[in-house]
Amino acid sequence: MRVRFYEGSYGPTICLDVSTSAELTELCRVFARLARGRVHEQVLDGRTVGLSGLDSLILRLNEPRQTSAWARLGAKPIPNVVRVPGPRSGPSPAASSASFEWRNSKDGWWYCLSLARGLLEGGSDHRFQILSQPGSDDPHVELSWGE
């Protein structure tokens, strides 16, 4: 799997690119563990996925009273933003890119799981799903299979 961050036609975009059914199945497992509350955090970084334009993507289960939120880490603090300390990629600190945290309720992770399963059950042609809620200033998130 490859995770890309770029300025898309709808604004900042994070794309989860999967190229095989095994990668999509593993992403479904991640969403399912979060939706069931079995894990509260899953880190996608250079050790686990290919990255482009970002250092890491952290998927986190929100507490029941919190709302879904995307946050660019290192930006001005807003609700649901958590700074992630740690090493940055790139040859120098100036060359490093952003880290992001994606927070969702259990219902939000079930929603993402259902969309990902829809791709898995639909075949292997190029397809995509939008995983983020529309109308937000937060990064637009999509899942792409077969690109």
pLDDT digit string, tens, across residues 91-144:
433 344 688 888 888 988 999 999 999 988 876 566 888 887 655 567 788 999
CATH architecture of the domain formed by 2-145: 2-Layer Sandwich (3.30)
Handedness of CA 59, 128, 2, 28 (dihedral sign): positive
Helix/strand/coil for 89: coil
Question: What are the domain boundaries of the chain?
Answer: 2-145
Do residues 11 and 70 touch, judged by C-beta distance below 8 A? no
Handedness of CA 84, 57, 2, 29 (dihedral sign): positive
Which of 1, 2, 4 has its CA nearest to residue 98? 4
Is pTM, for the whole model, over 0.85? no
